[in-house]
Structure 1
Amino acid sequence: MMKMNPLLFCLLMLFLCFFICKSQLPIPAKIDGFVYRKPSVWGESVLVEAFLDPVCPGSRDSWPALKQALDYYSGRLSLVVHPFPTSYHSNAFIGCRSLHIANKLNSSSVYPLLELFFKTQEQYYDAPTYEMSRASIVADMTKLALTAVGENFRTAFQLGFNDSSTVEATKISFKYGCSRGVGGPPVFFVNGMPLSNPGSPLDYNQWRSTIDPLLAKNKS
């Protein structure tokens, strides 16, 4: 895949930080992100916020260990995923927009769709789609999404790409990530604090070593 020049990327992020400091970002009607299995994100549970790109290999590789931790801790661990369309992945914005459309039509389909993207993301890399039109890519992602959202939502899902609110929601996701200092996924926050080594997947043992002490303090 083609990658952005590191110096250019740093300059872009500096510009975004300057812009954020000088102007008020749009405030969404509700907080950005998709809650996993709808547990409470406050109280005695530990909250993980994950900034993920559906066509990013690092995001894909980070998901199995995080999902294993979610299954292990059950209601003691809450997760909110913020879709973050990486600028150097050409189809990331369309993928993240697909997640917002899915959330609008059938919120329970968001995580199944995210997992479908992770399983098939190589077909949406820059090289395989180089000669494809944007319309063809959207049609292909719609076909993929309908296996999670439901075939009865075909027309509504297609119309979702003509809905300006889904564009705005995807832009807000990106701006929200920038406001939190996210440069490239995967990036994780635990109880509001960023974990070290952004951009790198965490394995299951790393999640356990991070979360176990916090739950022990909550219990005490």
Structure 2
Amino acid sequence: MVLLTVERRMKILFLVLAIFFTAATADYIPPPRLDGFVYNNPSSSFALQDTVLIEAYFDPLCPDSRDSWPPLKQALQHYGSSVSLLLHLLPLPYHDNAFVASRALHVVNNLNSSATFPLLEWLFKYQEKFSGAQTRELSRASIVEEIVKVTTQVLGSSYYNSIVKSFSDTTTEIQTRVSFKYAASRGVYGTPFFYVNGFLLPDIGEAIDYNAWRKVIDPLVAANKGTKNEDSIHFFL
């Protein structure tokens, strides 16, 4: 008899749940627009063919997602417009309150997309407020109330009523479910996961440091620049 590790059991359970929920609510698939938040480009009007595209799958209450963000952000700042990031959310069932935190990001993105990543960074910084033993005795309503307060701090007090309303209707709940199902459809079962130009990076579930990102992206950016130069020469010829 082969004994499965706890991690392996969780992965199998997660995939089973993902298949179940995807099948149970298939009427929400596909969504009206591509899932994900675009970093430093709220309008999403970027040309994928002209950039190296990184797709990151994060859980805002996952410590590994938190640790992976600073080096990825540093790489994005280094490459500028040569690299784009599309962030997907995967609220993991074994991270307390991950669904509510992920929903808050959808709420903010709908109201003012320029505040989406600032809220993500706030959630990363104060993860302990919404996960772990100190939250187990708290009700779901009290967690949502605290998340609303945080979201209001990031967006501004004028957004308070809109934030409360967003947590009361089903729109952002469905968006958060779709994010979960989209990740499952890509074979993602943990966080962080990274795809570069559609291909999965091998070091899944772990933070990637800045130097590792440079090793992955440098040759791709160089190849893109070479292709653009060739296209320019052919145009003038």
Query: Deviating runs (4+, > 4 A) in structure 1?
Result: 17-25
Equivalent residue letter for 2:157: E
Q: From 30, 34, 40, give the equivalent of 1:31.
A: 34
Highest CA radius of gyration, 1 or 2? Answer: 2
Seen in structure 2, the aligned counterparts of structure 1 residues 112 and 41 have a Cα distance that, compared at 3 Å, is farther
Q: From 190, 194, 203, give the equivalent of 2:209.
A: 203
Which residue of the partner structure matches residue 197 of structure 2? Answer: 191
Aligned-residue CA RMSD in angstroms? 2.0
Aligned residues: 217
**Structure 2 CA distance, aligned partners of 1:131 and 1:96?**
21
- TM superposition score normalised by structure 1: 0.92
Within a 5 Å distance, the mapping from 1:56-135 to structure 2 comes to 56-135=62-141
Equivalent residue letter for 1:10: I
**Structure 2 CA distance, aligned partners of 1:140 and 1:15?**
28
The answer to whether the 8 Å contact 1:91/1:126 transfers is no
What is the CA-CA distance between 1:173 and the residue it aligns to? 0.1
**Structure 1 CA distance, aligned partners of 2:84 and 2:47?**
6
> What secondary structure sits across from 2:50 in the alignment?
coil
Which residue of the partner structure matches residue 12 of structure 2? Answer: 10
**Structure 2 CA distance, aligned partners of 1:56 and 1:22?**
26
> What secondary structure sits across from 2:49 in the alignment?
coil
The answer to whether the 8 Å contact 1:49/1:80 transfers is yes
What is the CA-CA distance between 1:14 and the residue it aligns to? 4.2
The answer to whether the 8 Å contact 1:41/1:78 transfers is no
Which residue of the partner structure matches residue 143 of structure 2? Answer: 137
Higher-helix-fraction structure:
2
Equivalent residue letter for 2:89: P
Seen in structure 2, the aligned counterparts of structure 1 residues 60 and 23 have a Cα distance that, compared at 3 Å, is closer
Which residue of the partner structure matches residue 181 of structure 1? Answer: 187
What is the CA-CA distance between 1:18 and the residue it aligns to? 7.6
Between 1:122-131 and 1:51-60, the stretch displaced more is: 122-131
**Structure 1 CA distance, aligned partners of 2:155 and 2:194?**
27
**Structure 2 CA distance, aligned partners of 1:190 and 1:90?**
29
What is the CA-CA distance between 1:65 and the residue it aligns to? 0.1
> What secondary structure sits across from 1:48 in the alignment?
strand
The answer to whether the 8 Å contact 1:32/1:176 transfers is yes
What is the CA-CA distance between 1:123 and the residue it aligns to? 1.3
Between 1:37-46 and 1:185-194, the stretch displaced more is: 37-46
Equivalent residue letter for 2:203: N
